[in-house]
Chains A and B, each alone.
Chain A
Amino acid sequence: MKQGKYLNSASRFSLITLALLLSFSSIVFAQEATADEGAAESETTAAAQGGDAAAGKALFNANCAACHKLYSRATGPELYNVTERRDRDWLYRWIKNNKELRDSGDPEAIAIYEEYNQTAMNLFPQLTNADIDDILAYTDTPKPEPKAPVNAGGGAQGGGGGVSSTIILAILAVVLVMLVAVLFLVNNTLRKFAVAQGVELPVKESRKPIWKAFVENQFLVLVCVIVLLLGGAYFAYGWMMQVGVDQGYQPIQPIHYSHRIHAGDNQIECKYCHSSARTSKTSGIPSLNVCMNCHKSISEVADQTSEFSSVTEDYSKEFYDKEIQKLYKATGWDPATQSYSGETQAVEWVRIHKLPDFAYFNHSQHVSVAGVQCQTCHGPVEEMEIMYQNAPLTMGWCINCHRETDVKMDGNPYYEKIHEELSKKYGVEQLTAAQMGGLECGKCHY
């Protein structure tokens, strides 16, 4: 019976691997199929309108996409099927020089100018009629159908692939436990057989209990006590030294902000958002207007299947999209009408790096003057999905860096004289922060 169960789990295992293999192959198939469809679609539209939709897409992304989207309103109106709504000659004139068209008193042109809060569209004199045909061919591309069924199937099977490693581990554990049980049972039955057959099993001699032997060996007891005392002291000291150190502190933030996506994948410069690190003592958390610089036009993260995916297995696209919606709620931005409602709610971020109030730390003199890399103190932030404290921020850690780091003297007229005098005093060419007086109490604690 036990053997039967073992067989069963083995067959299940092979079934799962089969499913896994199948799932991979089906995903590949699905992608090929959709790609073919898309190509076919664009070809048919291009043929119908006399414009090249592929070339139009490039032109659209370079010139128009700053203000227009195909299927939803942005700064300007959505452009899908604009050729059905407007006359083609009117479109040529409007796109090339909409100001001229408005000045000529065209009622249609003035109406649309008024509808969009008198935001003037840019002029595109460099576009030829053929270019515009291409762009218009692209705007006629119907919205790609959501690949929901394919994705859902792929997702579920992919999920199975993700879970399968734990399943395999569990199966292995079960198999091990069964093996132990089987061995135990075999041993037992063999003993029973031996007793029944009258075979004498070797009987172990009873020896002196080990604890008695241990107590009698005075030297061993002494050594053990010393080892225990030393070990105890080691752990007690280690425990006391970590009191008040927040290394690894990783609280849950109100919005799941990912430094990995922003600073890692997209390579946004650290000081883009934390701009006050250049000039101020406090390198502040960016205000929400900095978020909206980009997220005015980025309301969703990339698809999971895309080449530039930011989505991981742990966090889905839906999860990230919901986090961006939290930002819109906080700023009062309505992506449908592309306007601010005026109802704002500050985001209460949780501060991670915190020095006690009696220590003075100034970001700008470390970042701008000394040119210390952000990662030196804050760790590999561009790889952190969730921010945590990388350095211990203890006094010993500060002092250590001041002892080892040379002060950046070149191109800084403030240091010219000081360098000359101090390097003579210490007999060195480069001065560390410690030699400049960077270990004095008053420098940080006043």
Chain B
Amino acid sequence: MRNSIQILGSLVMLVLLASCQDKDYRNYQYMPNMYEEVSYETYGNYDVFPNGMEAMLPAEGSVSRGWMPYGYEDSTEGYEAAKANLKNPVPYTEDNLNEGKALYTIYCAICHGDKGDGKGTLAKREKILGVPAYNDQGRAITEGSIYHVTYYGLNTMGSYASQTTEKELWLINHYVLDLKDALDGKPKRAFENADSSETVTTDEAVEEHQMTEEAQTEE
């Protein structure tokens, strides 16, 4: 009798030990002195914020250092204007093109395909249909229209401004036009010489460019 009670007891102990760590819950901690944040954690959930979200929106119309708002509005007119007037401020160099290719592979190739012919994985699997090739005649994309569409999105395509910076969008832009040339059978563009004689770094060039855009649209 006593023996069976002991066996039963040890069994219960074993089960208890095994259930101490459950995959649905975090493991217990020993004296968690500085484990939890005193400060607000990125993407945390705190009661003091509206909706509990730590990630609050900046005030509308504010401009942070190193960033300029985009001058064209999200409409058909804005699209036409960008298509006609907007130019790529980032120099067309080999490094920039390679960076653009890497980013294109991450963000665009999944639908538009590695060659830009609209045959990406999602299109092949018929998840997303109607992805046009870059040399589609009815669309006739230009560098301005590519930037406008990647910035705002167009109909079914979403905006990519939250995943990339302005400069990265321009880098992708270079590579997209490269793919379009390849589809059209045109020869490759000659690389610009990115020597230091101009002394303007790319970021500054983007900024300056967008400031002038802003000024133009305000006029």
A-B contacts, CB under 8 A, total: 141
When the two chains form the complex, which single residue of B36, B39, B138, B160 contacts A122, counting CB atoms closer than 8 Å? B138
Q: In residues 80-126 of chain A, which contact B (Cβ within 8 Å)?
A: 118-120, 122-126
Please, which residues of chain A bring their CB within 8 A of the CB of B132? 62-63, 66
* Interface residue? B215 (CB, 8 A): no
Q: In residues 187-219 of chain B, which contact A (Cβ within 8 Å)?
A: none
A289 touches B131 (CB 8 A): no
Tell whether A356 pairs with B34 under 8 Å between CB atoms, given A120-B76, A122-B139, A282-B42.
yes
Please, which residues of chain A bring their CB within 8 A of the CB of B35? 356-358
* Interface residue? B118 (CB, 8 A): yes
A244 touches B30 (CB 8 A): yes
Q: In residues 277-319 of chain A, which contact B (Cβ within 8 Å)?
A: 279, 282, 284-285, 287, 289-290, 292-294, 296-298, 302, 308
Bound together, the chains give a CA A281 to CA B130 distance in angstroms of 37
A66 touches B156 (CB 8 A): yes
Give the residue name and chain of the A residue nearest to B39 (CB): A357
B130 touches A251 (CB 8 A): no
* Interface residue? A268 (CB, 8 A): yes
Interface centre among B24, B41, B43, B156 (most CB of A within 10 A): B156
Please, which residues of chain A bring their CB within 8 A of the CB of B128? 294, 297-298
Bound together, the chains give a CA A315 to CA B69 distance in angstroms of 45
The interface size of chain A toward B, counting residues with CB under 8 Å, comes to 59
Q: In residues 355-391 of chain A, which contact B (Cβ within 8 Å)?
A: 356-358, 388
Chain B interface mostly helix, strand, loop or mixed?
Answer: loop
B110 touches A271 (CB 8 A): no
Min CB–CB distance A370 → chain B (angstroms): 16
Q: In residues 50-72 of chain B, which contact A (Cβ within 8 Å)?
A: 51-53
* Interface residue? B183 (CB, 8 A): no
Give the residue name and chain of the B residue nearest to A298 (CB): B127
The interface size of chain B toward A, counting residues with CB under 8 Å, comes to 55
A119 touches B155 (CB 8 A): yes
B162 touches A289 (CB 8 A): yes
* Interface residue? A246 (CB, 8 A): yes
Chain A interface mostly helix, strand, loop or mixed?
Answer: loop
* Interface residue? A245 (CB, 8 A): yes
Please, which residues of chain A bring their CB within 8 A of the CB of B106? 269, 271-272, 275
Tell whether A287 pairs with B162 under 8 Å between CB atoms, given A74-B156, A250-B23, A266-B122.
yes
Bound together, the chains give a CA A126 to CA B137 distance in angstroms of 7
Please, which residues of chain A bring their CB within 8 A of the CB of B29? 243-244
* Interface residue? A61 (CB, 8 A): yes
Min CB–CB distance B187 → chain A (angstroms): 23
* Interface residue? B45 (CB, 8 A): yes
Min CB–CB distance A305 → chain B (angstroms): 14
* Interface residue? A199 (CB, 8 A): no
A296 touches B27 (CB 8 A): no
* Interface residue? A153 (CB, 8 A): no
* Interface residue? A440 (CB, 8 A): no
B34 touches A357 (CB 8 A): yes
Tell whether A266 pairs with B127 under 8 Å between CB atoms, given A243-B29, A272-B163.
yes
Give the residue name and chain of the A residue nearest to B30 (CB): A243
Tell whether A251 pairs with B24 under 8 Å between CB atoms, given A75-B156, A266-B127, A357-B36.
yes
When the two chains form the complex, which single residue of B24, B34, B122 contacts A252, counting CB atoms closer than 8 Å? B24
Contact with A along B119-143 (1 / 0, CB 8 A): 0011001111111100011110000
Give the residue name and chain of the B residue nearest to A268 (CB): B110
A308 touches B158 (CB 8 A): no
Contact with B along A61-80 (1 / 0, CB 8 A): 11111111000001100000
When the two chains form the complex, which single residue of B21, B27, B76, B158 contacts A289, counting CB atoms closer than 8 Å? B158
Contact with A along B157-179 (1 / 0, CB 8 A): 11110111100000000000000
Interface centre among B30, B43, B128, B130 (most CB of A within 10 A): B130
Tell whether A284 pairs with B43 under 8 Å between CB atoms, given A243-B28, A245-B27, A293-B157.
yes
B27 touches A267 (CB 8 A): no
Please, which residues of chain B bring their CB within 8 A of the CB of A66? 129-132, 155-157
Tell whether A246 pairs with B43 under 8 Å between CB atoms, given A122-B138, A308-B126.
no
Give the residue name and chain of the A residue nearest to B35 (CB): A356
Bound together, the chains give a CA A68 to CA B127 distance in angstroms of 14
Q: Write 29 A-B pairs (CB below 8 A) sorted by A numbering.
A: A61-B129, A63-B130, A65-B130, A66-B157, A67-B130, A67-B155, A67-B156, A74-B156, A75-B156, A122-B138, A244-B28, A244-B30, A252-B24, A266-B125, A266-B127, A267-B110, A268-B110, A272-B110, A275-B162, A275-B164, A285-B43, A293-B160, A294-B122, A294-B158, A297-B128, A302-B125, A346-B52, A348-B45, A357-B37
Beyond A243-B29, A284-B43, A293-B160, list 20 extra A-B contacts (CB 8 Å).
Answer: A63-B130, A67-B130, A67-B155, A118-B76, A124-B138, A126-B136, A243-B27, A245-B27, A246-B26, A248-B23, A249-B25, A266-B127, A268-B121, A272-B107, A272-B110, A275-B106, A296-B158, A308-B125, A357-B38, A388-B23
